[in-house]
C-alpha cells in the first residue's frame, strides 16, 4: 500500500499560513485601537487631572492584583496630567489611557516585565507596545506614545528597563507628556491599576 504524505506538507504549510494570518490580524487590531488613541477626540481642559468616567458594562470579571515588579514609565504620581476616561462605546471619543508629564527626550521605561511586540509609527506618531506574559489570556499590553524606541521588537524587558525616549511634536498634550495605555485584547483598561491605584484590578504579572 502506498501512502502519500504530500497532504501533510500542505497541512503544515496551512498551519504556518494560519499562524501568520493570526499574527497579522492581531497587529491590525492593535493598530486600529492605537489610531483611536492618536486621533480620537479630546475633551476640553486636557491638562487637568480629573476623576475617571464610568466605562461601558464589563464584558467579564477583571481578575485580582496588583502584583510586584511594576513602575511608573516616567516620573511618579506627581506628574499625572490626565486620567483614564473610557468612551461610552468602542468608537466614541474618550481618553484611553493616562497622560504623564514628560519633556521630549525623557527616558521611558517598561511599566512591567514582558517583551516589546510593536515599535513603529501609527498615524504618524511613534508608538511602543510591551506584551506582558503571565498576565492572563489574552495577555495585558501596555502602550507608550509618542516614544522613539530604543528597544527592538522581540526584546525582553524587566520593569524599569528603558524602551525609548519621549518624542517631540506629538500634539497630544498642551505640554510635553507620555500617553500610557493598557489593554487586554481590544479592551482598554486603566493603566494605573498596574500600580494599585486604578479602577480595574488585574492579574499579578509573572516575574521576567
Kindly state whether residue 160 falls inside one of the protein's structural domains.
Answer: yes
| SS3 label, residue 195 | helix
Per-residue cell: 148: 522613539
The boundaries of the domain holding residue 56 are 37-195
Q: How many domains does the chain have?
A: 1
* pLDDT tens-place string over residues 142-157: 999 999 999 999 999 9
| Residue 30 covered by a domain | no
**Is 163 domain-assigned?**
yes
Q: Is residue 25 part of a domain?
A: no
- Quote the pTM value: 0.67
The reply to whether 17 falls in a domain is no
Give me the phi and psi of 189, to 5 degrees please. Answer: -125, 170
Alpha helices per DSSP H over the chain: 6-39
Instruction: Write the CATH number for 147.
Output: 2.70.70.10
Cβ atoms of 116 and 163 within 8 Å: the answer is yes
Q: What is the pLDDT of residues 77-114, one digit of tens each?
A: 899 998 897 776 666 666 689 999 999 999 999 999 99
Whether 94 maps to a domain, the answer reads yes
Is residue 167 included in any domain, yes or no?
yes
Does residue 107 lie in a domain region? yes
As a whole number of angstroms, the distance between CA 181 and CA 141 comes to 8
Amino acid at each position: 500500500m502506498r501512502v502519500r504524505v504530500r497532504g501533510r506538507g500542505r497541512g503544515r504549510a496551512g498551519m504556518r499560513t494560519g499562524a501568520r494570518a493570526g499574527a497579522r490580524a492581531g497587529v491590525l487590531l492593535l493598530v486600529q485601537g492605537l489610531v483611536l488613541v492618536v486621533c480620537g477626540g479630546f475633551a476640553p481642559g486636557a491638562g487637568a487631572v480629573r476623576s475617571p468616567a464610568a466605562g461601558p458594562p464589563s464584558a467579564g470579571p477583571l481578575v485580582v492584583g496588583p502584583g510586584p515588579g511594576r513602575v511608573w514609565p516616567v516620573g511618579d504620581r506627581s506628574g499625572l496630567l490626565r486620567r483614564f476616561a473610557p468612551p461610552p462605546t468602542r468608537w466614541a471619543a474618550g481618553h484611553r489611557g493616562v497622560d504623564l508629564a514628560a519633556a521630549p527626550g525623557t527616558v521611558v521605561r517598561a511599566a512591567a516585565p514582558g517583551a516589546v511586540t510593536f515599535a513603529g509609527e501609527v498615524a504618524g506618531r511613534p508608538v511602543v507596545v510591551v506584551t506582558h506574559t503571565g498576565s492572563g489570556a489574552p495577555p495585558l499590553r501596555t502602550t507608550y506614545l509618542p516614544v522613539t524606541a530604543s528597544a527592538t521588537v522581540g526584546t525582553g524587558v524587566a520593569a524599569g528597563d528603558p524602551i525609548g525616549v519621549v518624542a517631540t511634536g506629538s500634539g497630544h498634550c498642551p505640554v510635553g507628556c507620555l500617553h500610557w495605555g493598557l489593554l487586554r485584547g481590544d479592551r482598554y483598561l486603566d493603566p494605573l491599576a498596574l500600580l494599585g491605584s486604578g479602577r480595574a484590578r488585574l492579574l499579578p504579572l509573572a516575574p521576567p
